[in-house]
Amino acid sequence: MKMNTIIAAAAALIIAVAGIVAIKTVYEKKSVELKNAAGDLSAESSVLTDETESETFKVRSFNPDPAETENPETVTDGASSTAEKETEKSVFSTIRNIVTASQTVTEKVTSQVKDITEKTTAAKPSATAGRAENKTTTTSSPSKAQTSAAASSGKKADYEYSYAGFNPQYANMDVADWTLILVNRDYILPEDYVPKLAYSVEGDTDSKKLDYRVAPHYNEMYKAAKADGIILDTVSGYRSYSLQKTNFENKIAKYENQGYGRAEATRMAAKIILPPGTSEHNAGLAMDICSLEQSFENTKEFRWLMKNAERFGFILRYPKDKQDITEIIYEPWHWRYVGVENAKKINASGLCLEEYLGVK
């Protein structure tokens, strides 16, 4: 009976060892798959493989004391029972240790494979400067497919202003009609996006720069206005990510100094200056003209723009009656380029850009 017990225990030991080896084999296969999917995580996978090999080596290196492995038939009758008991005790103890080690390795493998998989699938989209420059412009109203492409390309992970409730997704810079790229607090530019720029007024190096595809249209509008005795001074065109961040942080600090908490101050600031990467200025698609005061609406320059800007592809981006939708204060100075046909359709519809694209 004792011998049967020992044999059964030894068999269990062999099965446990085989289990460890099987775990190692499965993990190594998974590590290779993950390494192919995410080369930058290979170091982490290597460390995990080493841990598994270490645990397996401990099992393979088990070598019971010679006294426990000698042939029971050579032991005297008086010592036989005691030797068998000691052997049985040692074998079962070893099995328990192996099983525990197996569970530990399994837990490590499961946990870290899960972590690696999550990191591998968390890749962020990116874009290169002026990627959309060769896209064909369409003059028809955006279809549902265009609307989706215009404003959705994956959530931005670890957003620095998420504490204030901002969780933008990436703007799609490959939208069929680049003039309808949607950039606002909900849709952020890729971190590496920098448009190709040009001066907005030809021959005037003091004029502000815009996306090189937009600048010629502003120049034409500028000349037409000048012919009518109107000077459309360029106050703010393209802004870099760093400048936008500085402006935004300064506005947050202003409200914090007035006694508001950080989150509330951030939300208040975003109604006036958008967070970095979410402003049309960062894309070079908009110009602040003549003033940064709401009283600009009472000027002849504003009246000229309201009557003529669409002929050159520009719209009033943040109308007074759309503040609940744009979530930006009324800005009579901020004019966005969307192309001539789109500008005419948007103005005729009475919609703001978010409504026109069907995202709000």
| Residues catalogued as catalytic | 331
Q: How many residues does the structure list for the chain?
A: 360
Comparing C-alpha atoms, which of 331, 329, 322 is closest to residue 354? 322
Distance of CA 193 to the CA centre of its chain: 14
CB 110 within 8 A of CB 30: no
Please name the residues in contact with 349: beta carbons below 8 A apart, sequence gap of 6 or more.
355, 356
Q: Report the DSSP pairing between strands 314-318 and 234-236.
A: unpaired
Query: What SS3 state is found at 93?
Result: helix
Comparing C-alpha atoms, which of 62, 57, 48 is closest to residue 13? 62
Q: At what angle do helices 262-270 and 241-257 cross, to 10 degrees?
A: 130
In whole angstroms, give the CA distance from residue 211 to residue 196. Answer: 6
Phi, psi of 146 (to 5 degrees): -65, -40
